[in-house]
Amino acid sequence: MKKQESILKQFKIDKEWTLFLDRDGVINKKIENDYVKSWSEFKFIDGVIEALRILQDIFGRIIIITNQRGIGRGLMSEQELLEIHNNMINILSFYDVKIDGIYYCPHDYEKEICNCRKPKPGLAYKAKENFPEIDFKKSFMVGDSISDMEFGKSLGMYTVFISKSRNATNNLIDSTFYSLLDFVVELKK
């Protein structure tokens, strides 16, 4: 990872800032070559709840932005996705963690032309409609794919790449961390 001063000190992050998070691979364990299609398949990544509890004290808003191509491919229904999100929110609420919004793209990129599938910015603009105070230049995008980084960079966000390799390099990546909790440790320095 690049040598850097504390991100908090570098940006003076406060409650005016927004944290955008991808879901699969950042909040819950990603199922390789498949999709989380039901609540029984959803598993929080170790340390995520603790990380989110700390992050909500730093950022003014936490927004989840997620591509859910499994709906467009007919592998799950929109209702099943909403059940997953409702259960996730209920568990996070139990631990006093508040997610301000969840925005998802249900489209299959091979069949649909839309403006909401990351890296396209449609989901961010939808969030801004609900939270007009969002300033994309005072926002972070945390994700585990290059399309997440493209999404963030296209809007002027600081991008954080979650990867098992701390050596991930790409001009779209501002910082790389092993996990959301690893990112929080850096923020708290």
Return the structure tokens found at 76: 């799950």
24 is catalytic: yes
CB atoms under 10 Å from CB of 158, counted, come to 19
d(CA 11, CA 58): 12
Return the structure tokens found at 113: 């032309």
User: The sheet that has 139-143: what strands, in order across it?
Assistant: 101-105, 61-67, 18-21, 139-143, 158-162, 175-177
Cβ partners under 8 Å of residue 40, min gap 6: none
Identify the active-site residue in 14, 24, 100, 174: 24
Q: What are phi and psi of 124, to 5 degrees?
A: -65, -40
Identify the active-site residue in 14, 22, 34, 148: 22
34 is catalytic: no
| Distance (Å) of CA 32 to CA 29, 35, 94, 181 | 9, 8, 29, 21
How would you classify the pairing of strands 158-162 and 18-21?
unpaired
Active-site residue list: 22, 24
